[in-house]
Amino acid sequence: MSQVVLDAAGRRRSPATMPGFHAGRPPRNKGQRYPADPPTIAEIVTVMAAAGESVHGRRLRPLVVVLWRAGLRIHEALALTESDLDARRGALLVRRGKGGRRREVGMDDWAWDELEPWLELRRRMPVGPLFCVITGPTRGRAWSSAAVRAQLRRVAERSGVRRRFAPHQLRHAHAVEMAREGVPLIVIQRQLGHSNLGITSIYLQGIDNAEIIDTVHARRPPMIPVELAARSVARR
Residue 174 annotated among the catalytic residues of the structure: no
- Annotated catalytic residue 34: no
User: Among residues 73, 122, 172, 174, which one is catalytic?
Assistant: 73
Max Cα distance, the chain (Å): 102
98 carries an active-site annotation: yes
Kind and range of the H or E run holding 94: strand 91-94
Catalytic one among 69, 171, 172, 174? 171
Q: Which residues are CB-neighbours of 203 under 8 A, at least 6 positions away?
A: 36, 171, 172, 175, 176, 188, 192
* DSSP conformational letter for 13: P
Could you give the residue ranges of the DSSP H alpha helices within the chain? 41-50, 55-69, 74-78, 109-122, 145-159, 167-180, 185-192, 197-203, 209-217, 226-235
Catalytic residue status for 75: no
Helix axes 109-122, 55-69, angle to 10 degrees: 150
d(CA 130, CA 145): 14
Radius of gyration of the chain from Cα atoms?
23
Asked if residue 66 lies in contact with residue 115, where contact means CB atoms within 8 angstroms, the answer is: yes
Return the SS3 of 75. Answer: helix
Given the residues 98, 103, 141, 149, the one annotated as active site: 98
The residue from 61, 172, 174, 194 that is catalytic is 194
Active site residues: 73, 98, 168, 171, 194, 203
